[in-house]
Amino acid sequence: MIRSLVYSITFHSIMILLTVLSLPFMLREPIDLPPIVSVELIQISDKTNIPFAPKARKIIEEKKKKEEERVVSEQAPPAAKAKEKPDRIPLPNEKEEEKKLIKKKQNPEEVKPEIRQSSEFEKKEIIDTNQIAALIDKAKEVESVKRKETNKITQSSKKNSFATGLSLSEEDALRAQIFGCWSVPLGLPYDENLLVRIKLKLKKDGTIMKSEILDHERMNRPGQKFYKVLAESALRAVRLCQPLKVPPTGYDKWKDLQLNFNPVEMLKG
Amino acid sequence: MKKLIYILFINILILSKSHALIEIDITRGNLDPLPIAVSPLHVDIKSEEHNDIKIKNLGEDISKIIEQNFKNTGLFNPLKRDAFVQKPDIAHLKPRFEDWRLIKAQALVTGKLLIKDGKLKVEFRLWDLAAAKEMTALAFTTTPSNWRRVAHIISDKIYERLTGEEGYFDTRIIYVSETGPKNQRIKKLAIMDQDGFNTKYLTLGNELVLTPRFNPTNQMVTYMSYFRNMPRVYLLDIETGTQEVVGNFPGMTFAPRFSPDGKKIIMSFAKDGNSDIYTMDLETRVVERITEHSSIDTSPSFSPDGKFIAFNSDRSGLQQIYVMRSDGSNVKRVTFGKGIYGTPVWSPRGDLIAFTKMHKGRFYIGVMRTDGSGERLLTENYYQEAPSWSPNGRVLVFYRETKAGDRGEGFSAKLWSIDITGYNERKLSTKTDASDPSWSSLLSK
């Protein structure tokens, strides 16, 4: 009896000792964690806007440029068609403007925080920590309303990708795949606000587990034929593209994707 | 304990962070025409023979027309039949989607037909191959001789389902057919289906005919003809073939055109040596003067809502395009470019005006917004004019004269069409030389 009691006490004390040794904060002063609460992490791209190291930026810009060129050449209409009526050749001014625009996209410093209007459905589902600051700041909300009024396309994806950790090239690779699969319905009017947002849930191999159109009630509303056509074409593109070539790692980062299909720039030609 | 809570809190934050949604903007896509497979329609074995119609080939013939229509739009790419794996009858019941996806088709058209008791019954289905579901399905019953029209109606329904805008295949084009040498041209009114089939001549050719124009609401046509060297404006009912004279007008009369409700015609004629714009009520025959200006005002065209009129005038020197209210007030010049502008035609959608422009001896067909901004010249040539809109406002038909011989002797006039994007220019097949086309509204409407 006494023997077994001794055994029990010994083993228990060994266990307690092991626990004390393996759980550091029970023995030593814990490392002072609170100051690095990951608030920093959340806001790193938006708030601090830390620029790339000069060299890294150059490389990325070069890559981007190449990518842009490649995409453009892929999509140029057949030579016979693109024949040059005087008015289709962009004026030198316009060309310059285009270049500027690209630069803007590439420069993370110039990306401004913004919020989008989201559907009821989205509000329930998406918690975008990037937008908390914007939600508090009413000035930004006004800005977003203005944006909506002018129907300008927002380039929010770049900003998001920094925060969520998908690299530019990874994101561009995904984008380029969808570009190739999407047959844009060319009959759509260019002066209407047609933006189709599709939310995807991906499997690890890049196949699509679930795809849904946010705002999909709009498809069946009367007078929204063009929206319906665009939404269907976008869904087709996504389905045709699967399995998407996804990054080999970081499944958690890209398992949920939102694709915003906006053909306005293309249709304006 | 406090620290434990901190750690938990941090973990939760990191966790939620990793689930933040990545958004990717897709602002570009593939400009290639949509690959579509049109499976030949299955002919029901219970079908009976009917007159001259080769029932065996009918399914294939109808699908060929649909394919040709799609090809002509430039928006679709009908795939070659050799690659089709599934038989038409089985495909119509339930396509094996993976088979069709293999040949890179994105949409599939299947159908079947039956002729029984002198009636032709055609049904079709349109399938979305990526989503593996049916997009639309319809059936039509008609007399067998109407089989070409059925093919056009099916094309319209599919076009509408895939593009969101109305089709323009079940339509006709009226034009002036021209034969003979230039100084002794014989001009007849002719009408054909938009794909060039079923050409019929509506006048004999002993009088000069000009500027036929369709009523946008039905199958009536107004045109001008010279009778004993006096211009007359006629109304012609295509269905019944009846003609009537609307009136004799003095001097030079030009380009009568219907109002959007089809109740009036608008035209220009010269009274006391001055050309102005007038309307005439077709019921009461009351003529109303719209412009009163010492310049030459011609080529009026109503906006589809009937509130505005576009016309050309030389009141500022060179001929330019002007827009005014339908009562003649508030005249505004809308073109300021170099060259001469003429023949404005308001798009049925209401957003654009098509015109002919002449600059440095070349002719252009172009479109612009109704305030004159956003001018786009779609096509340029030695001589071309008279654009007319397809009923959905997407395509323009016009005529172009080209020198026929190498040395420039002789000439040939043909009808051409072009998309408002400036792409997809193509020549329409007509039996003779052709000029002054006008596109009808949808027949089945």
Q: Are residues A141 and A204 in the same domain?
A: no
Query: Which CATH architecture is the domain B172-439 placed in?
Result: 6 Propeller (2.120)
Distance from CA of B64 to the nearest CA of A (A): 23
Number of domains in chain A: 2
CA distances for B25 relative to A132, A160, B34, B205, angstroms: 21, 11, 22, 60
In terms of DSSP bridges, do strands B297-302 and B308-313 run parallel, antiparallel, or are they unpaired? antiparallel
Distance from CA of A139 to the nearest CA of B (A): 23
Cβ A187 vs Cβ A180: under 8 Å = no
**Where exactly are the structural domains of chain B?**
34-163, 172-439
Reported ipTM = 0.78
Q: Is residue A215 in some structural domain?
A: yes
Q: What is the DSSP letter of B133?
A: E
CB contact under 8 A, A236 and B128: yes
For residue A196, give the CATH number of its domain.
3.30.1150.10
Is the CATH number of domain B34-163 3.40.50.10070?
A: yes
CB contact under 8 A, A258 and B24: yes
Chain A residue numbers touching B128 (CB-CB < 8 A)? 232, 236
Q: Are residues A253 and A178 in the same domain?
A: yes
Distance from CA of A197 to the nearest CA of B (A): 9
B44 touches chain A (CB under 8 A): no
Angle at B421 between CA A265 and CA A184, to 5 degrees: 50
The pair of three-digit structure tokens given for residue A74, joined into one six-digit string: 């892929």
A218 touches chain B (CB under 8 A): no
Chain A residue numbers touching B394 (CB-CB < 8 A)? 187
Cβ B161 vs Cβ B75: under 8 Å = no
pLDDT digits (tens, 9 = 90+) for B17-29: 445 678 888 888 8
State which residues form the domain around A235: 165-269
Q: Is residue A132 in some structural domain?
A: yes
A71 touches chain B (CB under 8 A): yes
A223 touches chain B (CB under 8 A): no
A263 touches chain B (CB under 8 A): yes
CB contact under 8 A, A260 and B30: no
Q: Which residue has the tokens 């060297």?
A: B229
B378 touches chain A (CB under 8 A): yes
Please choose, from the candidates B345, B351, B348, B350, the residue with its C-alpha nearest in 3D space to the C-alpha of residue B365. B345
CA distances for A232 relative to A216, B128, B156, B164, B439, angstroms: 10, 9, 19, 11, 31
Q: Is residue A191 in some structural domain?
A: yes
CB contact under 8 A, B21 and A126: yes
Pick from A179, A228, A256: which is nearest to B26 by CB? A179
Q: Which residue of B has its CA nearest to A182?
A: B29
Cβ B59 vs Cβ B88: under 8 Å = yes
A253 touches chain B (CB under 8 A): yes
Cβ B418 vs Cβ B425: under 8 Å = yes
pLDDT digits (tens, 9 = 90+) for B179-199: 888 778 899 999 999 999 999
Q: Are residues A179 and A217 in the same domain?
A: yes
CB contact under 8 A, B23 and A160: yes
Q: What is the pTM of this model?
A: 0.72
The pair of three-digit structure tokens given for residue A33, joined into one six-digit string: 């964690």
Q: Is residue A47 in some structural domain?
A: no
pLDDT tens series, chain B, 445 aa: 667 667 666 655 555 444 567 888 888 888 888 999 999 999 998 888 877 778 888 999 999 999 999 999 988 999 999 989 888 888 888 899 999 999 989 999 999 999 988 899 999 999 999 888 899 999 999 999 889 999 999 999 999 999 888 899 999 999 999 988 877 889 999 999 999 999 999 888 888 888 999 998 888 899 988 877 778 888 999 888 888 888 777 666 778 899 999 999 998 888 877 889 999 998 898 999 999 988 999 999 999 999 999 999 999 889 999 999 999 999 999 999 889 999 999 999 898 999 999 999 999 999 999 999 989 999 999 899 999 999 999 999 999 988 766 655 567 899 999 998 888 899 999 989 999 999 999 987 6
CB contact under 8 A, B21 and A258: yes
Q: What share of chain B is helix, strand, coil (3-state, %, to 5)?
A: 15, 45, 40
Cβ B319 vs Cβ B313: under 8 Å = yes
pLDDT digits (tens, 9 = 90+) for B283-310: 898 999 999 988 999 999 999 999 999 9
Chain B residue numbers touching A252 (CB-CB < 8 A)? 18-19
